[in-house]
Copies of this chain bind each other. A is one copy, B any other.
Amino acid sequence: MDEFDLKILKILQTDAKYSLDEIARELKIPKSTVAYRIKKMEREGIIKGYYAHIDPASLNLDYIIISSVKAKYGKNYHVELGNKLAQIPGVWGVYFVLGENDFIVMARYKNREEFMEKFLEKVMSIPEVERTSTQVVVKIIKESPNIVIF
């Protein structure tokens, strides 16, 4: 992975619709070389895919929450519980962390009712859960997990 690969990634992470010609022009290398390198990074798993960014607000997903989950200890508790949390509809992020809590869970719902029904009640009924504490997001100031290279 060299300077050119990094520049290609930097472009594609912000706009996947950039054409081979445009990238080639900017990097001043032939477009077939750009194509070759992109294919290589796709093969190697450096580029994991391409997706559309859909505005959650357009789908009325205005009830955004970040929840801390403390687990009861036991064998494989964190694998089990992690998977269960990841499968809850509305949940897009599950992180196993060191510190006061065990899991940080990110989720989006239409409203408080949907959150209660689809998230809270489900989480509280999972036997491995000791307790949870949820914070409601008032404003998303930044959310660009696709930006990996600065």
Residues of A within 8 A of B (CB): 1, 9, 12-17, 44-56, 58-59, 61, 64, 66, 78, 82-83, 85-86, 89-101, 103-104, 106, 108, 133-150
Complex Cα gap A69–B101 (Å): 16
- Given A56-B148, A148-B59, are A17 and B50 also a contact pair (CB < 8 Å)? yes
- Given A56-B148, A138-B98, are A93 and B50 also a contact pair (CB < 8 Å)? no
B50 touches A136 (CB 8 A): no
A46 touches B50 (CB 8 A): no
- Given A141-B95, A144-B92, are A51 and B53 also a contact pair (CB < 8 Å)? yes
User: Which residue of chain B has the shortest Cβ distance to A61 in the bound complex?
Assistant: B148
